[in-house]
Structure 1
Amino acid sequence: MLMSAGALDVLLSGFMLRALLAVVISSVLSAVIGSFAVVRGLSTMGAAVAHASLAGALLGFLLGRNPTFGALFLSTLFAVAAAYSGEKSKRMDVVLGVAFGFSAAIAALSLSMTREYTVTAYTYLIGDVLGVSWSDVIIQLLFSSASLLIIYLFYKEFKFISFDMEAAEAMGLRVRLYHYMMVVLLAVATVVELRVVGSILAVVFLVAPAASAIELARSMEKVIVLSVSIALAASLSGIMLSIFANVPTGPTIGIITSLTYLLVLLISHNK
């Protein structure tokens, strides 16, 4: 009975409410953006941008600025630069491979510069959703609302270029514009995820729910709905399990999300 009362107190506490809101917001945005990213083959870019967002957050912290805006600035700059380089070289795989190594090096350098602030650096590396403030939640909500509004307004265009970019270009669609818009939205999604799962697990949270949904659905609309459902189920169960098992939340969510994808993959291939 005492355990039940204690558990209820935890669920009704202010930090838990903030954590749940942060998880829901980041899950929805990551699942929607991740659906387009997986179909477009931008998963590797998501990993590279996640490292850039970590470096931006740490540099922002060192400079006395809001780490979230530092992460947004550097991740967006990095994503656009990588997309531009890939466009010019026509070898996106090579560019993303180099970009991944470069962003990882920047993140490592930033971590070495924050040795005196190990705890702060650690929260951006693996996430600290239980420590988010109301200002963090509000920033997440604003970023996510703006991103989802853009997806809603240009949904047909994003869907078209995701499945057949050449045909979209032949029909006069401004493919380059929408490609860069999607790349920027990908950067925003990694920033929103940063306090929830950290940079090291951001790409898993971005890709795994969408990849699971693609195994189960054929239309883009169903993929998005399933991806959001999977992301919410994995993240909410992950946060509950981490609290009652007293283990880090970010890694727990990452493990559940990854195992969900592996389970879906196993089931779909054995049909």
Structure 2
Amino acid sequence: MLNLILEPLSFEFMREALATAILLGILCAVVGNYLIVQRMGILGDVIAHAVLPGLAIAFFLGVDIFLGAFICGTLSTFVISWIQSQSRIKVDVAMALVFSGFLALGIMLITLLKSKLDLHEFLFGDILSVTTDDVKRTIIITVFVLILVKLFYKELLFYTFDPLGAQASGLPINLIHFALNGAITLTIVASMQTVGVVLVVSLLIGPGITAYLLVKELYQMMHLGAVIGVISSVTGMYISYYLNVPSGAAIVLVVSVLFFLALFLSPTQGILTRPEIGHRRGRLLSQFKSQNPK
């Protein structure tokens, strides 16, 4: 048993991949909770696909493709906010338009610029190809975002649950809004190599909604979600190693399995274990006994 755990660690690429997966399991869970609370889970999917034009342009210019991805992902959130503020169009419709528009632009740029960008790697992830520089970048992003969340937790909490109240109290809600979107974009950019843009939303949302079924407070969701994110990432990496399957898909499947376990077995909200189920069973048993006396 111990050998099964230690064998993958004998390879440097697995150690670097596991380190990256653990960092992103924590980061995605913390940032993703804000998307869950604001009912904006689809925003992660929009940003994840909106980075494609930035990848194509950065690759063509010979600059860091992750810089291009961050700029383009941030731009997409500005466009969504601008459409929402300048018209009666609802945010979900604006996100759908930006999603399709940026994705189409990315595909067109890749064709026009004759880019040799490996789309498969960015769409589906390839964590086993991470380098030491990638690990360092992930550490910097994770520490930076977590420090900001810690420092401005109260302000973020107020804005997340009551944006109008936060504005009335004098908080710079526009700055908070774009800072939060920037943190989400950074998280997605950091996660592209792990699970890819197609599956990144699952890593952002899955641990948080699993924790939501088990605890009540936001800070508890963050802590438990981070634990679930780490467990999912490490377990998925070992499944990927031993079964020779894509690591991103393996991680997301573990996230999904843990969610459904919580959905069915959560002590307070589980489909099979919620208190009213027990009361209903008790009433049915009482009726059965009264109708079938010995």
After TM superposition, the score normalised by the length of structure 2 is: 0.84
Structure 2 match to 1:50? 48
Contact 2:73 2:185 survives alignment (8 Å): yes
What is the CA RMSD across the aligned residues, in angstroms? Answer: 2.3
Distance 1:113 1:262, change over 3 A: farther
> 1:108 matched to which residue of 2?
107
Residue in 1 aligned with 2:190?
A: 192
Map of 1:93 onto structure 2: 92
> Is contact 1:53–1:190 with CA below 8 Å preserved after alignment?
no
Instruction: Between 29-38 and 57-66, report the one with greater CA deviation.
Output: 57-66
Aligned to 1:25: 23
The residue number in structure 2 matching 1:239 is 237
Matches within 5 A, 1:31-46: 31-46=29-44
Distance change in 2, residues 1:225/1:8 (3 Å):
closer
Q: Once structures 1 and 2 are overlaid, which stretch shifts more, 227-236 or 104-113?
A: 104-113
Q: How far has the Cα of 1:62 moved from its partner?
A: 3.1
CA apart distance, 1:138: 1.2
Aligned partners of 1:83 and 1:180 also within 8 Å:
no
- Residues 100-133 of structure 1: CA distance to partner in whole angstroms, max 9, x if unpaired? 2223323433555688747x22111111111101
Shift in alpha-carbon separation, 1:246–1:31, aligned structure 2, 3 A: same
Q: Does the Cα contact within 8 Å between 1:83 and 1:183 map onto a contact in 2?
A: no
Aligned counterparts of 1:109 and 1:68: Cα–Cα separation in 2: 19
The 3 A distance-change label for structure 1 pair 106 and 116 is: closer
Equivalent AA in structure 2 for residue 255 of structure 1: L
Q: Which whole-Å CA distance do the structure 1 matches of 2:151 and 2:163 have between them?
A: 19
Q: Which whole-Å CA distance do the structure 2 matches of 1:106 and 1:208 have between them?
A: 29
Structure 1 partner of 2:271: 269
- Residue equivalent to 1:143: 141
Structure 2: tracts of 5 or more residues without a match? 275-294
Q: Is the 8 A contact 1:80 1:184 kept in 2?
A: no
* SS of residue in 2 equivalent to 1:225: helix
1:134 to 126, 132, 135: 132
Q: Report matched runs for 1:170-209 at 5 Å.
A: 170-209=168-207
Larger Rg: 2
Q: Which runs of 5+ in 1 are unaligned?
A: none
Q: Distance in 2 between matches of 1:133 and 1:214?
A: 34
Instruction: Name the amino acid aligned to 1:95.
Output: A
Q: For residues 13 and 190 of structure 2, what CA distance do their matches in structure 1 show?
A: 18
How many residue pairs get matched?
A: 268
Q: Distance in 1 between matches of 2:143 and 2:61?
A: 28
Deviation at 1:164, TM superposition (A): 1.4
Q: Report the more deviating stretch, 223-232 or 167-176.
A: 167-176
Percent identity between matched residues is: 28
* TM-score of the superposed pair, with normalisation by structure 1: 0.90
Alignment partner, residue 256 of structure 1? 254
Q: Secondary structure at the match of 1:41?
A: coil
Q: CA separation in 2, counterparts of 1:79 and 1:200? A: 18
Q: Distance in 1 between matches of 2:13 and 2:113?
A: 26
Structure 1 Cα separation of the partners of residues 165 and 101 of structure 2: 33
Alignment partners' CA distance in 2, 1:108 and 1:265:
38
Describe the shift of the 1:211–1:86 C-alpha distance in structure 2 as closer, same or farther (beyond 3 A).
Answer: farther
Letter in 1 for 2:271: H
More helix by share: 1
Local SS of the residue matching 1:216: coil
Any idea what the Cα deviations from partners look like across 1:202-250, whole Å, max 9, x if unmatched?
A: 1111111111111221111101011111111111100110010001101
Offset at residue 48 of structure 1 (A): 0.5
Quickly say closer, same or farther: Cα 1:83–1:265, change in 2 above 3 A. farther
8 Å Cα contact 1:45-1:100 kept in structure 2: no
8 Å CA contact 2:25–2:232 kept in 1: the answer is no
Shift of 1:63: 2.7
Q: Is the 8 Å Cα contact of residues 209 and 227 (structure 1) preserved in structure 2? A: yes
Task: Give distance in 2, aligned partners of 1:77 and 1:115.
Answer: 23
